[in-house]
Amino acid sequence: MAISSLAQRTTTFTATTTATVEWRTAAAGRCKVLEVSYINSSAATATSIGLGRPQAIGITPVNVLFQRDDPADPASVTNGSLSWATSPTVPLIYHRRWGCAATIGVGVVWTFPRGLVIPISSSLVIWNIATTTASDVNCIVDE
Protein backbone atom coordinates (compact mmCIF):
# COMPACT_ATOMS: atom_id res chain seq x y z
CA MET A 1 0.00 0.00 0.00
CA ALA A 2 1.13 3.57 -0.60
CA ILE A 3 0.46 6.89 1.12
CA SER A 4 -1.23 9.75 -0.78
CA SER A 5 -2.29 13.25 0.23
CA LEU A 6 -4.64 15.91 -1.07
CA ALA A 7 -5.10 19.53 0.02
CA GLN A 8 -8.17 21.40 -1.22
CA ARG A 9 -9.68 24.83 -0.62
CA THR A 10 -13.42 24.55 -0.57
CA THR A 11 -15.66 27.23 -1.94
CA THR A 12 -18.45 28.87 -0.01
CA PHE A 13 -21.35 26.44 -0.06
CA THR A 14 -24.92 26.26 1.12
CA ALA A 15 -25.21 25.13 4.73
CA THR A 16 -26.90 21.78 5.34
CA THR A 17 -27.65 21.03 1.66
CA THR A 18 -24.32 20.07 0.06
CA ALA A 19 -21.10 18.36 0.99
CA THR A 20 -18.00 20.47 1.56
CA VAL A 21 -15.73 17.82 0.03
CA GLU A 22 -16.08 14.20 -1.02
CA TRP A 23 -13.27 11.64 -1.13
CA ARG A 24 -14.12 8.64 -3.27
CA THR A 25 -12.58 5.38 -4.32
CA ALA A 26 -12.72 3.83 -7.77
CA ALA A 27 -13.74 0.31 -8.74
CA ALA A 28 -9.99 -0.44 -8.63
CA GLY A 29 -9.75 -0.53 -4.84
CA ARG A 30 -10.48 0.83 -1.42
CA CYS A 31 -8.40 3.11 0.78
CA LYS A 32 -7.90 3.89 4.45
CA VAL A 33 -8.14 7.49 5.62
CA LEU A 34 -5.35 8.10 8.13
CA GLU A 35 -5.80 11.81 8.84
CA VAL A 36 -8.16 14.68 8.02
CA SER A 37 -7.66 18.35 8.87
CA TYR A 38 -10.11 21.23 8.45
CA ILE A 39 -9.13 24.89 8.79
CA ASN A 40 -11.52 27.85 8.65
CA SER A 41 -9.89 29.98 5.97
CA SER A 42 -12.25 32.66 4.73
CA ALA A 43 -14.19 34.45 7.44
CA ALA A 44 -14.55 34.80 11.17
CA THR A 45 -17.70 32.69 11.09
CA ALA A 46 -18.64 29.94 13.52
CA THR A 47 -19.72 26.70 11.87
CA SER A 48 -20.30 23.04 12.58
CA ILE A 49 -19.05 20.18 10.40
CA GLY A 50 -19.29 16.41 10.37
CA LEU A 51 -17.28 13.61 8.74
CA GLY A 52 -19.31 10.64 7.57
CA ARG A 53 -20.42 8.28 4.83
CA PRO A 54 -23.06 9.80 2.54
CA GLN A 55 -26.30 7.92 1.94
CA ALA A 56 -25.54 8.25 -1.80
CA ILE A 57 -22.29 9.28 -3.50
CA GLY A 58 -22.15 12.38 -5.68
CA ILE A 59 -23.10 12.17 -9.36
CA THR A 60 -20.77 13.54 -12.07
CA PRO A 61 -18.08 14.82 -9.70
CA VAL A 62 -15.23 17.09 -10.73
CA ASN A 63 -12.37 14.91 -9.49
CA VAL A 64 -8.77 15.61 -8.51
CA LEU A 65 -6.47 12.66 -7.85
CA PHE A 66 -4.68 12.33 -4.52
CA GLN A 67 -0.92 12.78 -4.91
CA ARG A 68 1.58 10.12 -3.86
CA ASP A 69 3.92 11.08 -1.04
CA ASP A 70 6.56 8.99 -2.84
CA PRO A 71 6.47 9.91 -6.54
CA ALA A 72 8.04 6.52 -7.41
CA ASP A 73 4.82 4.74 -6.33
CA PRO A 74 2.10 4.05 -8.93
CA ALA A 75 -0.50 6.80 -9.37
CA SER A 76 -3.26 7.10 -6.79
CA VAL A 77 -6.80 6.00 -7.67
CA THR A 78 -8.55 7.94 -4.88
CA ASN A 79 -10.21 11.24 -5.85
CA GLY A 80 -11.30 14.40 -4.07
CA SER A 81 -14.32 16.34 -5.32
CA LEU A 82 -15.57 19.84 -4.53
CA SER A 83 -18.42 20.02 -7.04
CA TRP A 84 -20.92 17.67 -8.65
CA ALA A 85 -23.92 17.67 -10.97
CA THR A 86 -25.71 16.17 -7.95
CA SER A 87 -24.10 16.48 -4.51
CA PRO A 88 -23.60 13.48 -2.23
CA THR A 89 -26.37 13.13 0.32
CA VAL A 90 -26.10 13.87 4.03
CA PRO A 91 -24.67 11.11 6.25
CA LEU A 92 -27.12 9.50 8.67
CA ILE A 93 -24.38 9.10 11.30
CA TYR A 94 -21.07 10.98 11.60
CA HIS A 95 -17.70 9.47 12.52
CA ARG A 96 -16.56 12.87 13.81
CA ARG A 97 -18.18 16.26 14.43
CA TRP A 98 -16.62 19.60 15.26
CA GLY A 99 -17.92 23.03 16.23
CA CYS A 100 -15.71 25.77 14.76
CA ALA A 101 -15.14 29.04 16.62
CA ALA A 102 -15.67 32.31 14.73
CA THR A 103 -11.94 32.76 14.05
CA ILE A 104 -10.00 32.61 10.79
CA GLY A 105 -7.28 29.96 11.07
CA VAL A 106 -8.97 27.82 13.70
CA GLY A 107 -8.96 24.14 12.79
CA VAL A 108 -9.19 20.52 13.80
CA VAL A 109 -7.16 17.40 12.99
CA TRP A 110 -8.76 13.98 13.15
CA THR A 111 -6.54 10.88 13.09
CA PHE A 112 -7.53 7.29 12.45
CA PRO A 113 -4.65 5.09 13.68
CA ARG A 114 -5.92 1.92 11.94
CA GLY A 115 -7.47 3.80 9.04
CA LEU A 116 -11.09 4.72 8.34
CA VAL A 117 -11.92 2.54 5.33
CA ILE A 118 -13.62 3.90 2.22
CA PRO A 119 -14.87 0.74 0.44
CA ILE A 120 -14.64 0.18 -3.32
CA SER A 121 -16.78 2.66 -5.31
CA SER A 122 -17.81 4.50 -2.14
CA SER A 123 -17.04 7.81 -0.51
CA LEU A 124 -16.59 9.84 2.66
CA VAL A 125 -17.72 13.46 2.99
CA ILE A 126 -17.28 16.47 5.21
CA TRP A 127 -20.75 17.93 5.63
CA ASN A 128 -21.41 21.51 6.61
CA ILE A 129 -24.00 21.14 9.38
CA ALA A 130 -24.41 24.85 10.10
CA THR A 131 -23.48 28.21 8.54
CA THR A 132 -21.52 28.85 5.34
CA THR A 133 -17.75 29.23 5.14
CA ALA A 134 -14.85 28.30 2.88
CA SER A 135 -12.11 26.11 4.34
CA ASP A 136 -8.82 24.35 3.75
CA VAL A 137 -9.27 20.59 3.93
CA ASN A 138 -6.40 18.09 3.93
CA CYS A 139 -6.64 14.30 3.75
CA ILE A 140 -4.04 11.51 3.95
CA VAL A 141 -4.95 8.04 2.69
CA ASP A 142 -3.26 4.65 2.42
CA GLU A 143 -4.16 2.74 -0.77
Predicted confidence at residue 14, as pLDDT, reads 62
What are the boundaries of each domain within the chain?
3-142
Residues 6+ apart with CB under 8 A from 103: 40, 44
Given a cut of 80, whether residue 49 has pLDDT beyond it is yes
105 CB burial (10 A radius; 0-12, 13-18, 19+): exposed
pTM of the complete model beyond 0.85? yes
Predicted confidence at residue 12, as pLDDT, reads 60
Q: Which residue has the higher pLDDT, 116 or 28?
A: 116
- Listed range (54-58, 67-71, 130-134) with the worst mean pLDDT: 130-134
- 105-126: pLDDT as tens digits: 889 999 999 999 999 999 999 9
Predicted confidence at residue 114, as pLDDT, reads 96
- Listed range (50-59, 116-125, 131-140) with the worst mean pLDDT: 131-140
